[in-house]
Amino acid sequence: MNSATGKTEYLRITDLHSYYGESHILHGIDMKVDKGECVTLLGRNGSGRSTTLKSIMGLVGRRSGSIMLNGTEIINVPTHKIARHGVGFCPEERAIFSSLSTEENLTLAPIVASGGMTDDEIYEMFPNLKERRNSPGTKLSGGEQQMLAMARILRTGARLLLLDEITEGLAPVIVKKLGEIITELKKRGYTIVLVEQNFRFAAPLADRHYVLEHGEIIETISQDDLPTKMEWLQQTLGV
Amino acid sequence: MEIFGIPSALLGSQLLIGLINGSFYAILSLGLAIIFGLLNIINFSHGAMYMLGAFVAWIGLTYFEVGYWTSLLLAPVLVGLLGVVLERTMLKQLYKLDHLYGLLLTFGLALIIEGIFRDQFGVSGEGYAVPDALTGLIPLGFMNLPLYRGWVVIAALTVCFGTWYMIEKTKLGAYLRAGTENPQIVQALGINVPMLITFTYGFGVALAAFAGVLAAPVFQVNPLMGSNLIIVVFAVVVIGGMGSIMGSIVTGLGLGLIEGITKVIYPEASSIVVFAIMILVLLVRPAGLFGKS
């Protein structure tokens, strides 16, 4: 508990370096996310945003530094145990399995903690998934697959959600729906790290923005400072 | 009685032999397909594991008075455990490398295992008596079916379809199917993929050992019994399509039957018919009959 702000720190990353083989991708990332916060990682392609999420999950070749999750060091913990610490990862490629039905995809991840959404709550939030529960996962539309990739981590009881480019390639009406879902998840107290290309989607949702370039965080912008930093941000992101 | 000028007894008995061989092809190619699916390793030691299954049964009976039915359970467990040890200690090191390394390692293991057994038992082969409960003949009208051979077909099919059910219809099977597609993401969802891989390899070779025990009373128990059979089984896997579960079962049985029919119609071609079909399939459908390209 941070006595000054009354907030509880949930994720703290200190001096994180990540490598794929010989390539040194992240050069000392420092960031923290309080419980119930939503932060975004912004930056151009190849700036290291997705790698940061993958590093938290242990999906990179090698990593060093410190990743504290709810008071536990997870830098040397194997990937499946990180998920069991209550981290839900929604990868950029969505990774819906074609040999599994929609329902099998949805229920694949084991329950890691109590308090996850029930099937009824999931189907209320994502009604399409109920209709199509017997279809092969990859026969769903892009938007439905994205909903499925999110729904499957919401029923596990994970409290930290790592969402990688969830709006990519989706129609505006679906993007709007995803925005409503993120807002609802924030209300429910989830802690969210959002990697986004679509700044207009991310801006109203986030409490804080981390701007990455070449594997480093070059700027941290709080929601209140956003209007004054807008021009700089647009230049940096090239939007 | 004749069918197309062929005595029905001859056709019937060759079809039956074909069905029995097909049962072995099915159960062995199934194990190979499961292992290839998740581990991306072409398990060249599969034939040696089949041979080990038969020898565990023979050694059990000859030296320790362990009967057939016990061996049918015990041999797959022991050979499966050997598979687990091999996976944990050796195969594990190779997953990030090209398929070829796994193939070389398992091929080398097969040579070593078979070499040890040749050294100990020679190559003349040992007999294994049919268990008492399964001796005798069932009269089918056109021929008499040895009871044991009928049992082999039923046992093999039961195990094949049981495995298919486990993979296609259960939670564990869903992990396996998902892991075959994208092991990293499955692990990121909280599933212990390294353990799943170890289990899969152990299970795959246990299937081979089960087939070995079934084979012991039908064929001679011989250190080279696996390497003779496995070449055909690889052709079966190629024809069916790597990694397809139902494809392996159907192709295994089908090719056994085709071999049997060939023995009646044109016996000279019976040992190459499977390979001729393999060439045809590779030309027309390189991914195999049931494979996804």
CA B1 – CA B7 distance, rounded (Å): 6
- Partners of residue A152 in chain B, C-beta under 8 Å: 189
Question: Cβ of A80 and B192 within 8 Å?
Answer: yes
For position B293, what pLDDT does the model report?
57
Does A59 contact B at CB distance below 8 Å? yes
pTM above 0.90, yes or no: no
A153 touches chain B (CB under 8 A): yes
Residues in chain B whose Cβ is within 8 Å of chain A: 171, 174-175, 177-178, 180-182, 184-194
Domain count, chain B: 1
DSSP result, chain B: -EETTEEHHHHHHHHHHHHHHHHHHHHHHHHHHHHHHHH----TTHHHHHHHHHHHHHHHHHHH---HHHHHHHHHHHHHHHHHHHHHHTGGGGTTS-HHHHHHHHHHHHHHHHHHHHHHH-SS-B--PPPGGG-SEEE-SSSEEEHHHHHHHHHHHHHHHHHHHHHHHSHHHHHHHHHHH-HHHHHHTT--HHHHHHHHHHHHHHHHHHHHHHHTTTS-B-TTHHHHHHHHHHHHHHHH-TT-HHHHHHHHHHHHHHHHHHHHH-GGGTTTHHHHHHHHHHHH-TT-SS---
Residue B209 lies in a domain: yes
CB within 8 Å: A97 and B177: yes
Smallest Cα distance from B174 to chain A, Å: 7
Q: Is residue B5 part of a domain?
A: no
Mutate to test the interface with B, among A69, A77, A80 (most CBs of B within 10 A): A80
Interface mutation target, options A99, A102, A153, chain B, most CBs of B under 10 Å? A99
A95 touches chain B (CB under 8 A): yes
pLDDT score of B80: 96
Query: What are the b/e assignments for A150-170, b being 16+ CB within 10 Å?
Result: bbbbbbbbbbbbbbbbbbbeb
Range of the domain at B30: 14-284
Query: Do the domain assignments include residue B6?
Result: no
Predicted-complex ipTM score: 0.88
What pLDDT was estimated at residue A82?
Answer: 93
Q: Which residues of chain A have pLDDT under 50?
A: 1, 3
pLDDT at A121: 87
Contacts of B171 in chain A (CB under 8 A): 107
Q: Which residues of chain B have pLDDT under 70?
A: 1-5, 243, 292-293
Q: What is the pLDDT of residues A150-203, one digit of tens each?
A: 999 999 999 999 999 999 888 898 898 889 989 989 998 999 999 988 888 888
Q: How far is B208 from chain A (nearest CA, A)?
A: 25
A24 DSSP 8-state letter: E
Measured between alpha carbons, how far is B179 from A116 in angstroms, rounded to an integer? 24
Residue B293 lies in a domain: no
Residue B106 lies in a domain: yes
- Nearest Cα of chain A lies from the Cα of B186 at a distance, in angstroms, of 8
- Supply the pLDDT for residue A210: 93
- For residue B1, tell me if it sits in a domain: no
Among B177, B191, B193, beta carbon nearest to A100: B177
Residue B3 belongs to some domain of the structure: no
d(CA B40, CA B43) in angstroms, rounded, equals: 9
Q: What is the pLDDT of residue A3?
A: 47
Domain annotation covers residue B135: yes
Q: What is the pLDDT of residue B15?
A: 84
| Residue contact B189–A57, C-beta within 8 A | no
CATH code at B204?
1.10.3470
**Which chain A residues touch B185 with a CB distance below 8 Å?**
89, 91, 95
- Are B178 and A108 within 8 A, CB to CB? yes
Tell me how many degrees the CA angle A212-A146-B287 measures, rounded to the nearest 5. Answer: 105
